[in-house]
């Protein structure tokens, strides 16, 4: 579409390009979860693009468009569905950051935002805050994306921290050398994920570096418009993470797509080249391991029926559809099941559980319905947000079906099968029927 956007915002060229490429053909409509539920143009990708265009052109007040932009899950299912190659993410992320800066903040909002910036990206502080109950619902309004939903599911008791050495040596013949990003919230809420990922990689002949002073991916800071602080944390990663690794491994979908956007964060700045070099190495756990081939996997004695739940930011934003499935297919006695509408968001994205409870609940309900129809005895995913969403919905419906990170499933291969299963409390179930 032709546009008349004049903005000196750093991301304006990317936003304008996305709008220019959109031709309003409607091929994105079937892929969009909110359009599927609501059937209204303003809740579709092309409708939102049109609204953002009109706001940026100053033909429409931002607060008029806000409810519809807020309702976008950011699942990026529209991106692979688009025949003309619109980078919807560039537009949405840029637009949201711009609006965040311009939004009038109440003192309470500002305080909550400050709290987010000061705690979430720092696991030690966050753990302390979460333990002492200083973090809670007050924070939620300022939180973006998956973070709010994760926090709304904050458990009564935090799991114990898992310590990992700065370097976990490869077992057997060494096949690779990687750095592992621990992330922020995940480190506190589900430390077992990074722990499992590190040990699975090591068992598969990979030397794993876990720099203790690493930062988080900084996506959360970008989401709340704290761009400079995001850059500080990103730079710390450039300094702390060794340059000679084959890959920088992420175990949460959002961290991966966030770090792949570093070049945009440092666009036109002295660190631009460094950011690009760093971003090129960022790779999801399952994609890296699939590339290497599974050497040591869990030894199931009898058939396990497994559903793999695609995280939107792995499937749509990073294009990892085949890799996790390749890995799972390499596990003996594991039967990978397919489900209907696998690419449709489970509703964990966004501040959905809080802001859009009906839509989030309906998406979760539909997702669980598709999963149950396949009669699995295990569900795995590559993203903590999806895992928590599915656990919550399954529990609500009264199903005792374990939902694990793919790294945890592969963990028994590291030779800790029974002990590990006992530790984490997941065990096998008979198929639902």
Partner 1 sequence: MSTRPLGRPTTIDDQQMNHPFIEALETIYPPERILTRDAQLLPYESDGLTAFQSKPGAVVIPVSEEEVIATVRLCHEMALPFVARGSGTSLSGGSLPIPDGLVIALNRLNRIKRIDPQQRIAVVEPGVVNLHITEAAQPYNLYYAPDPSSQSICTIGGNIAFNSGGAHCLKYGMTSNHVLGMKVVLADGTVTQFGGESIEGVGIGPDLIGLFVGSEGLFGIALEITVRLMPQPELYRTVLAAYDDIGKAGDAVSLVVASGLLPGAMEIMDRLAIKAAQASVKAGYPDAEALLIVELEGEAPQVEAEFAQLQSIIESSGAFELRVANSEEERARIWKGRKSAFSAVGRLSPDFIVQDGVVPRSRLGEALLAIDAIKAKYGLDVANVFHAGDGNLHPLILYDGREPGALERAEALAGEILALCVSLGGSITGEHGIGMEKRDYLPAMFSEQEIDIMQALRRAIDPKEIANRGKMFPSGEAPALQQHGLHPLERQGVISRE
CA distance linking residue 206 with residue 267, whole number of Å: 33
Q: CB within 8 A of 70, min separation 6: which ones?
A: 350, 351, 355, 356
> Binding to partner 1 by residue 140, rule CB under 8 A?
no
Of 5, 12, 66, 321, which lies in the binding site for partner 1, with binding defined by CB under 8 A? 66
Tokens representing residue 344 in the block: 């449709």
Residues in contact with partner 1, shown as a per-residue x/- string from 74 to 113 under the rule CB under 8 A: ---------xx-----------------------------
Closest to 389 measured CA to CA, from 148, 68, 141? 148
Nearer to partner 1, 21 or 267 (CB): 21
The answer to whether 210 touches 165, Cβ cutoff 8 Å, is yes
- Centre a 10 Å sphere on the Cβ of residue 154 and count the other Cβ atoms it contains: 16
> Binding to partner 1 by residue 64, rule CB under 8 A?
yes
> Binding to partner 1 by residue 157, rule CB under 8 A?
no
The answer to whether 175 touches 292, Cβ cutoff 8 Å, is yes
- Centre a 10 Å sphere on the Cβ of residue 333 and count the other Cβ atoms it contains: 12
> Binding to partner 1 by residue 136, rule CB under 8 A?
no
Of 38, 115, 167, 232, which lies in the binding site for partner 1, with binding defined by CB under 8 A? 38
Stretch that binds partner 1, among 54-62, 109-117, 365-373, 410-418 (CB under 8 A): 54-62
Cβ of residue 1: shortest distance to partner 1, in angstroms? 5
Tokens representing residue 78 in the block: 């529209």
Nearer to partner 1, 240 or 369 (CB): 369
The answer to whether 280 touches 222, Cβ cutoff 8 Å, is no
Residues in contact with partner 1, shown as a per-residue x/- string from 345 to 374 under the rule CB under 8 A: ------------xxx--x------------
Three-state DSSP class for residue 303: coil
* Residue appearing with tokens 């979860």: 33
Of 11, 14, 15, 46, which lies in the binding site for partner 1, with binding defined by CB under 8 A? 46
Strands 206-209 vs 167-168: parallel, antiparallel or unpaired: antiparallel
Nearer to partner 1, 102 or 173 (CB): 102
- Centre a 10 Å sphere on the Cβ of residue 7 and count the other Cβ atoms it contains: 15
Nearer to partner 1, 83 or 433 (CB): 83
Which residues bind to partner 1, rule: CB under 8 A? 1-2, 21, 23-27, 29-30, 37-44, 46-48, 50-51, 54, 60-61, 63-68, 70, 83-84, 357-359, 362
């Amino acid at each position: 579409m032709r546009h008349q956007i004049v903005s000196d915002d750093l991301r304006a060229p990317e936003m304008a390009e996305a709008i220019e490429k959109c031709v309003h053909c409607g091929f994105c409509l079937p892929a969009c979860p909110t359009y599927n539920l609501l059937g209204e143009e303003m809740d579709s990708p092309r409708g939102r693009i049109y609204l953002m265009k009109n706001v940026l052109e100053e033909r429409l007040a931002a607060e008029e468009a806000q409810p519809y932009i807020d309702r976008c899950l950011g699942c990026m299912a529209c991106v692979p569905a688009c025949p003309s190659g619109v980078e919807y993410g560039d537009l949405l992320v840029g637009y949201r950051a711009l609006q965040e800066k311009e939004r009038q903040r109440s003192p309470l909002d500002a305080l909550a935002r400050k709290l987010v910036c000061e705690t979430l990206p720092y696991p030690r502080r966050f753990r302390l805050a979460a333990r002492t109950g200083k973090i809670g619902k007050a924070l939620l309004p300022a939180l973006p994306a998956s973070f709010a939903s994760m926090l709304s599911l904050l458990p009564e008791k935090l799991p114990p921290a898992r310590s990992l050495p700065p370097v976990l040596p490869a077992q057997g013949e060494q096949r690779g050398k990687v750095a592992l990003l621990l992330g922020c919230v995940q480190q506190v809420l589900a430390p077992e994920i990074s722990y499992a990922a590190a040990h699975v990689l090591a068992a598969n002949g990979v030397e794993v570096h876990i720099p203790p002073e690493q930062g988080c991916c900084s996506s959360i800071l970008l989401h709340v418009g704290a761009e400079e602080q995001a850059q500080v944390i990103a730079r710390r990663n450039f300094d702390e993470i060794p340059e000679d690794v084959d890959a920088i491994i992420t175990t949460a979908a959002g961290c991966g797509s966030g770090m792949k956007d570093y070049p945009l964060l440092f666009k036109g700045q002295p660190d631009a080249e460094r950011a690009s070099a760093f971003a090129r190495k960022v790779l999801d756990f399952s994609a890296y391991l699939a590339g290497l081939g599974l050497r040591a996997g869990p030894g199931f004695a009898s058939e396990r029926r497994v559903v793999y739940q695609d995280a939107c930011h792995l499937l749509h934003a990073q294009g990892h559809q085949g890799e996790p499935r390749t890995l799972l297919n390499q596990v003996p006695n594991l039967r990978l099941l397919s489900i209907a509408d696998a690419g449709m968001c489970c509703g964990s994205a966004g501040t959905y559980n809080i802001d859009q409870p009906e839509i989030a609940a309906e998406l979760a309900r539909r997702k669980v319905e598709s999963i149950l129809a396949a009669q699995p005895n295990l569900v795995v995913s590559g993203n903590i947000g999806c895992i928590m969403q599915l656990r919550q919905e399954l529990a609500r419906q009264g199903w005792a079906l374990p939902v694990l990170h793919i790294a945890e499933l592969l963990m028994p291969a590291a030779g800790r099968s029974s002990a590990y299963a006992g530790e984490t409390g997941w065990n096998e179930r008979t198929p639902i029927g």
